[in-house]
Chains A and B, each alone.
Chain A
Amino acid sequence: MTFPYSDKVLEHFKNPRNVGKIENPDGHAMEGSPACGDMVGVHINVDPKTKRITDIKFESYGCASNIATGSIITELAKGKTIEEAKKISWKEASDALGGLPPIKSHCSVLAVEGLRSAIHNYEELHGLVKEQKPTTVEILRKRLKKVMNPLSGLDLVQTELVKDITLDKGVVHIDVDLPADHQFATNIREEIRDKIEPLWDVETVEVQFLK
C-alpha cells in the first residue's frame, strides 16, 4: 500500500494521543474554522508554581496532517514550561512526525498556533501578560491574517480584502471589500470578531462589507 504520509504521521493519525477536553482547563483556545475544513482546539492545565504544562488535550476537525500534528504537539508540550512550550515550532512538530507534505502546512500549523493561543489564554486569565500593550492597527492587521476567506482558502489581509482598519477608544472598525450578501459574509464577520474581541482594550468590533 502507498500512503501519502510518513509512518509516524499515520501512526498518530490512527492513534491520536491526549484526545478530548479538560474540564475547567487553566487555558484553552480554538484555531481554524469549519469553513476552512480545519480546526484544532487545545486545553491545558499548568502547575502554578513551576509553570509546567501538567495536562494537555486536543480536539481536531481536519485532515490527517491536522490530526497528527495535534497529537504530536500534545506529546511535545507535556511537562514543558509554558515558556519552553511557546517556542515549539511547526518545523519541530513536522520533524517529530518524520516530515509533513509542504502543501499541508496550512492544516498542520493550526495545532502549533492552537498551543500558543492556549498558553496565551492561560497567561491572560492568570494575570501573567506582563505589559498590556495598547492595541494598534498593526496588531489588528496581524490578527486578521488568521481570518480566512473560505472561497480562496487565503487570509483576508493577503488577498487585500481588508480595506480599512480604524481604532478609536476601544471601538474597532473594519471595512471588508466583499458584498454584504456574500456567501460567507456572516462567517467572516464572526471569525473577525473571534480574533479581535479577546484583546484587552477592545470593546466592540464593527465589520462593514463595502459592496
Chain B
Amino acid sequence: MIEKTVYLDNAAATRMDEKVLEAMKPYFFETYPVATSEFGYSLGIEAREALEKARKEIASHIGADGEEFIFTSGSTESSNLALKGVALALGEKKGRHIIVSSIEDFPVLHSAKTLEKQGFSVTYLDVDNEGLVDPDRLRDAVTDETILVSIQHANQEIGTVQDIETIGSICHDKGVLFHTDATHTFTRVPLDSQKVEVDLITVSPHTIHGPKGIGGLYIRKGTPISKWMDGGFQEFNLRAGLENIPGAIGFARAVELITLEETERIKKMRDHLIGRVSAEVSETTLNGHRSKRVPQNANITFHSVEGESVTLHLDMRGFAVSTGSACFSRSLEASHVIRGIGGDHERAHGSIRFTFSRYNTMEEVDAVIDAITEVVNQLRIISPLSKNKEVGK
C-alpha cells in the first residue's frame, strides 16, 4: 500500500535532493555576499570562486569550458537569450530568418513568434508522426537569410530525442548557428559540445532534483550574441543581474548526483509502464518515438476519455500526472505537440504524460498502472465515444 502522493510529473519539476540543499546552505548563511572581482573582499572572492567552480563543473558535462557557460534564471530565460540574443546580433548584419521545429517548448516557440512580430521570418518545421525533424527538410528550409536554427534535444511532452548530430552538421555546413533546448535531456542523454556542432544549449536543474530559479546557457566561443537585459557586467557581460550563487552551487551538485545506474533504473520503470499498459489496456497509443526517447518519459493516449478527468481521478487516488488536454492547460488549448505529430484533438485530449525520477519506485509504477486502468475503464463506461466498454483486451 502506498501512502504518500506518487509524483509522476517530473518533466515539470522534480523534488529537490536534500544533498543539493546541504550544498546550497552555506551560500545563504556564510558565503552570502555577491561575487566580487578578484580585488574585492575575502567573502566576495570566495563567493566568486564557488560560482566559477560550479560553472566549470556544469560546463564540463557538455564538454565545454567555464567561459562558455552562463547562468540564467532558468531554461525559459536561456532560450529567450539564445533566440533574441542571436537575432539582435545578426538581424541587421546577416539576415532575418529563423528555423524552429513546430513542437518546441514555449520559450523557443514564443520567442520565435515575438521575433516574427518584429519583422523576422520564421519557418516552423513539421515533424513526423513520432516527433522527429526530417534533416532533408531542414536543409531545404535554410536560406541565405537564415541566422539560427533552434531544435530541441528532446521534447517536453512526448520525449522524442532528435538527431542533433546530423542537424548540427547541416547547420554548420550552411553556416548557420544551431541552438538546442536540452532541458529534458541534460545529464540523462549524453550531449558533448566537442562532438555535436551546436552553438547554444539550454539547460536547467529543475528536472534533475536541483533548485528552481536557475538555469544555464552554453555559448560556444565566438558565437555572435547580444545582451538584451541591461544592468551590470555579470556573466561575461551577457546576463546582467545579481548572481544566484546558492542556485548555481545547487545546480552543480544536482548534476554531480546523476548516475548512469539511476538513469537505467528510471528507464526500466518507464519501459515497465509502457509494456504493461500496452498489454493490459485496450485502445491506447504511445505518443513519441519508441526508442529515440528520453529515459524518464512515457506519454500514452487513452482513447475515448478526456485527460482532465483522468488526472483528477488519479489525483483523488494520490497520483500526480499531466495531460495534453485543453481542459488541463492554462491556455485551454490542446497540446500543440500531439497535434504536431499528426494527432487529432481527441488524441491530444486523452494523452497522459508520466515522467519518472530518482524518487519513484517500481511499486509506484505498478500502482499507477492499476489505478489508471480502473479510471479509464470507469470513464469509458460513460463515454459516448467508447465502443469498447471493457478495458481488458
Distance in Å: Cβ of A94 to nearest Cβ of chain B: 17
Task: Check A3 against B345 for contact (C-beta < 8 Å).
Answer: no
B 313-328 binary contact with A (CB < 8 Å = 1; else 0): 1011000000001111
Q: How far is the CA of A62 from the CA of B350 in the complex (A)?
A: 10
Q: Let me know if A39 is at the binding interface, CB within 8 A.
A: yes
Q: Let me know if A34 is at the binding interface, CB within 8 A.
A: yes
Contacts A3-B316, A67-B382, A153-B332: A35 and B327 contacting too (C-beta < 8 A)? Answer: no
User: B390 to chain A: which residues have CB within 8 Å?
Assistant: none
Task: Check A63 against B384 for contact (C-beta < 8 Å).
Answer: no
Q: Let me know if A14 is at the binding interface, CB within 8 A.
A: yes
User: B346 to chain A: which residues have CB within 8 Å?
Assistant: 34-35, 37
Task: Check A3 against B312 for contact (C-beta < 8 Å).
Answer: yes
Task: Check B332 against A64 for contact (C-beta < 8 Å).
Answer: no
Task: Check A64 against B315 for contact (C-beta < 8 Å).
Answer: no
User: B345 to chain A: which residues have CB within 8 Å?
Assistant: 34-37, 150
Contacts A60-B383, A62-B309, A67-B382: A37 and B325 contacting too (C-beta < 8 A)? Answer: yes
The residue from A35, A38, A58 contacting B344, defined by CB atoms under 8 A apart: A35
Q: Let me know if A122 is at the binding interface, CB within 8 A.
A: no
User: A63 to chain B: which residues have CB within 8 Å?
Assistant: 306, 308-309, 312, 325, 327-328
Q: Let me know if B305 is at the binding interface, CB within 8 A.
A: yes
Q: How far is the CA of A150 from the CA of B347 in the complex (A)?
A: 13
User: A19 to chain B: which residues have CB within 8 Å?
Assistant: 381-382
User: B333 to chain A: which residues have CB within 8 Å?
Assistant: 153
Interface centre among B304, B315, B383, by most chain A C-beta atoms within 10 angstroms, is B383
Which residues in chain A, 21-46, are within 8 Å of chain B measured between CB atoms?
Answer: 30, 34-39, 41
A 1-15 binary contact with B (CB < 8 Å = 1; else 0): 101010000100110
User: B304 to chain A: which residues have CB within 8 Å?
Assistant: 61
User: A183 to chain B: which residues have CB within 8 Å?
Assistant: 339
Number of A-B contacts (CB under 8 A): 80
Q: How far is the CA of A62 from the CA of B383 in the complex (A)?
A: 8
Distance in Å: Cβ of B332 to nearest Cβ of chain A: 6
Q: Let me know if B188 is at the binding interface, CB within 8 A.
A: no
Distance in Å: Cβ of A13 to nearest Cβ of chain B: 7
Q: How far is the CA of A14 from the CA of B312 in the complex (A)?
A: 10
Distance in Å: Cβ of B317 to nearest Cβ of chain A: 10
The residue from B316, B349, B384 contacting A60, defined by CB atoms under 8 A apart: B384
User: A1 to chain B: which residues have CB within 8 Å?
Assistant: 315-316
User: B279 to chain A: which residues have CB within 8 Å?
Assistant: none
Contacts A61-B383, A67-B309: A153 and B316 contacting too (C-beta < 8 A)? Answer: no
Q: Let me know if B8 is at the binding interface, CB within 8 A.
A: no
Task: Check A38 against B306 for contact (C-beta < 8 Å).
Answer: yes
Q: Let me know if B257 is at the binding interface, CB within 8 A.
A: no
Q: Let me know if A104 is at the binding interface, CB within 8 A.
A: yes
User: A38 to chain B: which residues have CB within 8 Å?
Assistant: 306, 327
Contacts A37-B326, A37-B345: A64 and B308 contacting too (C-beta < 8 A)? Answer: yes
Task: Check B309 against A10 for contact (C-beta < 8 Å).
Answer: no
Distance in Å: Cβ of B319 to nearest Cβ of chain A: 12
Task: Check B382 against A59 for contact (C-beta < 8 Å).
Answer: yes
By beta carbon, the residue of chain A nearest B325 is: A37
Q: How far is the CA of A58 from the CA of B172 in the complex (A)?
A: 59
Q: How far is the CA of A62 from the CA of B334 in the complex (A)?
A: 13
Contacts A36-B345, A37-B334, A153-B326: A64 and B383 contacting too (C-beta < 8 A)? Answer: no
By beta carbon, the residue of chain B nearest A32 is: B384
Task: Check A41 against B384 for contact (C-beta < 8 Å).
Answer: yes
Task: Check A39 against B384 for contact (C-beta < 8 Å).
Answer: yes
Distance in Å: Cβ of B141 to nearest Cβ of chain A: 21
User: B334 to chain A: which residues have CB within 8 Å?
Assistant: 37, 150
Q: Let me know if B12 is at the binding interface, CB within 8 A.
A: no
Q: How far is the CA of A64 from the CA of B386 in the complex (A)?
A: 17
Q: Let me know if A188 is at the binding interface, CB within 8 A.
A: no
Distance in Å: Cβ of A27 to nearest Cβ of chain B: 16
Task: Check B309 against A30 for contact (C-beta < 8 Å).
Answer: no
> Can you name 5 extra interface pairs (CB under 8 A) apart from A16-B382, A35-B345?
A20-B382, A35-B346, A62-B306, A63-B306, A67-B309
**Subset of 25 A-B contacts with CB under 8 Å:** A13-B312, A13-B313, A20-B382, A30-B384, A34-B345, A34-B346, A34-B385, A35-B344, A35-B345, A37-B325, A37-B327, A38-B306, A38-B327, A39-B385, A59-B382, A59-B383, A60-B382, A61-B304, A61-B384, A61-B386, A62-B327, A63-B309, A64-B312, A150-B334, A150-B345
